[in-house]
Amino acid sequence: MRILIATDGSKYGQAAVDFATDIIREPDMTEVKIVSVIEPFALNEVETLIESTEELAGLSNAAARQADTVGKRLAGDFREKFSGTKIEVSNEVLGGLAARVIVEKAEEWNADLIIVGSHGYGFWKRAWLGSVSDRVAHHAPCSVLIVRQKQ
């Protein structure tokens, strides 16, 4: 099974990772890819987005370096929990609009499952801010598990 875990480094992303470690039953037959997406703050033109996505994920970007550090730590935690197995774990930092990039990576990587955390916004806040997990669930090429952080 190929599991793509999207995390933003928050406690909600951590909850997604923790849940994933709890549901893996056959680690020898499992591949895990942990992805973090660095989003542009404000873009006025599509050209700017296209030109900046590669730079966003580049390790010269401080946010990308931090995301890479978190991804490596989480991948290490996975390997430690499943030591003695053949589980494959990798991490990747991507740039762009989070929901779209997560869905595209899942398609490209042939993921069987996407696991994302939810910030648990109410209806109005979600409508105003948008919801990455909601957009991923509606556009993903595979099953999506949305993990809510226990309050």
pLDDT in tens, 17-70: 999 999 999 999 999 999 999 887 644 444 444 445 555 555 557 888 888 999
Q: Among 1.10.3080.10, 3.40.50.620, 3.40.50.970, 1.10.10.10, name the CATH number for the domain at 2-148.
A: 3.40.50.620
Cβ atoms within 10 Å of 87's Cβ, excluding its own: 18
Q: Which residue has the tokens 């997604």?
A: 16
Query: Read out DSSP for 95-133?
Result: ES-HHHHHHHHHHHHT-SEEEEEE----HHHHHHH--HH
pLDDT by residue (tens digit) across 76-123? Answer: 999 999 999 999 999 999 988 889 999 999 999 999 999 998 865 554
Phi-psi category of 76—alpha, beta or left, where left has phi over 0 and alpha has psi -120 to 50?
alpha
Q: Report yes or no: 68 and 90 within 8 Å, Cβ to Cβ.
A: no
Q: Is 27 helix (H, G, I), strand (E, B) or coil?
A: helix
- Please, is 8 exposed, middle or buried when counting C-beta atoms within 10 Å of its C-beta (0-12, 13-18, 19+)? buried
